Chains A and B, each alone.
Chain A
Amino acid sequence: MTTYTVYKEQLPGLFEKWSKQYALHVPARLREGFYDLVPWKKDLEIAWDYDVAYNSPKRFVMPPHEALITYDRRTCEAQPVFEAPKQILFGVHPYDVKALNQLDQLMEGGSPDQNYLRRREATVVMVFEPLTVSSSAFWASVGAASVAHGFDLYWTKIGPAAFTVEVGSAKGEELLGMNGPLLSSTAGDKEGARRAKARVLAKARKNALRYNWEETPRLLAKCWDSPLWRRYSQMCLACGSCNLVCPTCYCFDIREETDDKLETGVRSREWDGCMLEGFAKVAGNHNFRPKAQDRYRHRYFRKGKYIYDKIGELGCVGCGRCVRACTAGIANPLKVFNELWEETAHEY
């Protein structure tokens, strides 16, 4: 695979060019300890050492509110709505790309979700190897420390002003070469990238599952009746924050709005969350997951077993966002899985 070495001083020029054709989003510090991907503008300082973006990148491919169809009540005809702005997500961490790759698989499988796929197709993903690790993250122990596909360029900082950039797609290479010829990385530069990765991995391994992540579905299969579900869920506020911030949570509701003349309208999808009380409640007030415990357990089973059974990966990439977002202090896949592991230790 092709790897180029790029210097910091080349970036403003590239960003300038890219931003003419694409909506370009880059990591920035919003306030102390609070980072997010924001629209790039000249002289914006890139937060190279950000630990985690407060919002996950799913919002770029599946926005919180997205029109699906428009309808005309007079004719009863409906038309699809497709919006797919050309965008570059610069500086996404590997675990978040892992999450995007999962969404790709899940949205493409069965009945392909055209709205998602079109947005995804129009999105260029540029990974950046993290320099810092959030204190609540555990991605290194859930198989999400690296990605082999799903990106156009993979950036690694190998010095104060130098990067190696691994090419993931022809489009990525073309974008990188927009300002003139590229410099192939030397063996030394590549070694620098390898070392940078090893450094961050060492930091990331501080928070770890106590077992091989591939055991998780088998572990959960034994834990349906564990007292842990009630112990934690009794503090749950059913606020759905853990769902909202999660890069792999994609459940949605479908709603519509008609104009004041009651003639035409838009039907949209909106992020929904399995932790919300009414998520599985049907007309006539029957709730298929009436208790906080049912909903809390469902979320962990989905992350640790259901998604795994579908695609062979954990549905949690270990970003730690839910851990930070939960006011009740109970959203924490690492803690939950580790405690279940301890609980069942006698079975091994």
Chain B
Amino acid sequence: MNTKLFSPYVPRPVTLVEKTPLSDFVTRFTFEQDNGKPLAHKPGQFVNLSIYGIGEAPFSISSPPRRTNITFEIAVRRIGAVTGALHALEPGAKVGLRGPYGSSFPVMKFVGKDVLIVAGGLGYIPLRSLLFYQLRHRDEFGRIVLMVGTRDPKERIFVDEIADLAKSGEVEVMETVDMPDSTWKGNVGVITTLLPKAELDPGNTFVAMVGPPIMYRFVIAECRKKGIASEQIFVSLERKMKCGLGKCGHCQINELNTCIDGPVFCYTDIEAYQEAI
């Protein structure tokens, strides 16, 4: 790269290779890097994706790190300008990409431990990158417990994948919906209601959670009730983002910049910040 002309604001082209609807509003997109290199991300990191003429927005990387494969996945809810334009693309289309950016789940800390993964709503999207990384090295971890909470059955995403995980016996899956319909046979209630039902070894369990802003406080309280220490709890927080470089100020949580200090934080490091949880 010509360093004289380097600017951290310049995206590089990537090509959409596959598009799979996951629900009425959420679609999984598989991209391939035009530079022929793997994305080289860590679980929990995000990319800034550009649709030129519309804008740029941050998305968690949903696939696990891949050493040789040059594809990566994101899963996106259609909700505004960029996400709408993204949904209109067909395979073969190119978009701009910056990143991977931000902090990641400290998988090395999780080695030899039990891991509880708490996914509220779209939270499964980034956590999937952690989960599948762990599955690739399954024998290096203890139990993997996956809790999934969705508002209503229609909004569930990665349904078959999660069912397969449960069947495989490698992951203990617990699922709930807030508002059941006639087809739903499983647990009912917000995701917090799953925690008392799980038998966990608090001293040996690390927690990774991602969900809507309202979820964290309650799930953390339940974890603490079970005796899981703050140091063992990792959260990924979402804020408005523009630059992804710690400059534009949009993503601040008190003095932290979510884009570079986060999005993944150890709960001990943010407990004292009023704007965090």
Contact of A283 among B9, B80, B254 (CB under 8 A): B80
Min CB–CB distance B244 → chain A (angstroms): 9
Interface mask (A280-298 → B, CB under 8 Å = 1, otherwise 0): 1111101011000000001
B79 at the interface (CB under 8 A from A): yes
Q: State which residues 299-313 of A face B: CB under 8 Å.
A: 301-302, 305-306, 309-310
A302 to B79, CA, bound (A): 31
A252 to B249, CA, bound (A): 7
User: Which residue, of B52, B53, B239, has the highest number of chain A Cβ atoms within 10 A?
Assistant: B52
Across-interface contacts of B242 in A (CB, < 8 A): 252-254
Give the number of A-B contacts (CB < 8 Å). 126
Across-interface contacts of B275 in A (CB, < 8 A): 288-289
A252 to B239, CA, bound (A): 15
**In the complex, residue of chain B having the shortest beta-carbon distance to the beta carbon of A80:** B7
A69 at the interface (CB under 8 A from B): yes
Contact A69 B9 (CB under 8 A): yes
Contact B260 A110 (CB under 8 A): yes
Contact of B8 among A82, A113, A224, A279 (CB under 8 A): A113
Contact of B13 among A77, A255, A289 (CB under 8 A): A77
Contact A114 B6 (CB under 8 A): yes
Interface mask (B228-261 → A, CB under 8 Å = 1, otherwise 0): 0000000000111011011111101011000010
A256 at the interface (CB under 8 A from B): yes
What does DSSP make chain B's interface, helix, strand, loop or mixed?
loop
Contact B52 A282 (CB under 8 A): no
A79 at the interface (CB under 8 A from B): yes
Across-interface contacts of A310 in B (CB, < 8 A): 255
Contact of B53 among A73, A113, A279 (CB under 8 A): A73
Contact B248 A253 (CB under 8 A): yes
Min CB–CB distance A181 → chain B (angstroms): 37
B5 at the interface (CB under 8 A from A): yes
Contact A256 B245 (CB under 8 A): no
A254-B248, A310-B255 as given contacts; A262 in contact with B53, CB under 8 Å: yes
B96 at the interface (CB under 8 A from A): yes
Contact A280 B250 (CB under 8 A): yes
B88 at the interface (CB under 8 A from A): no
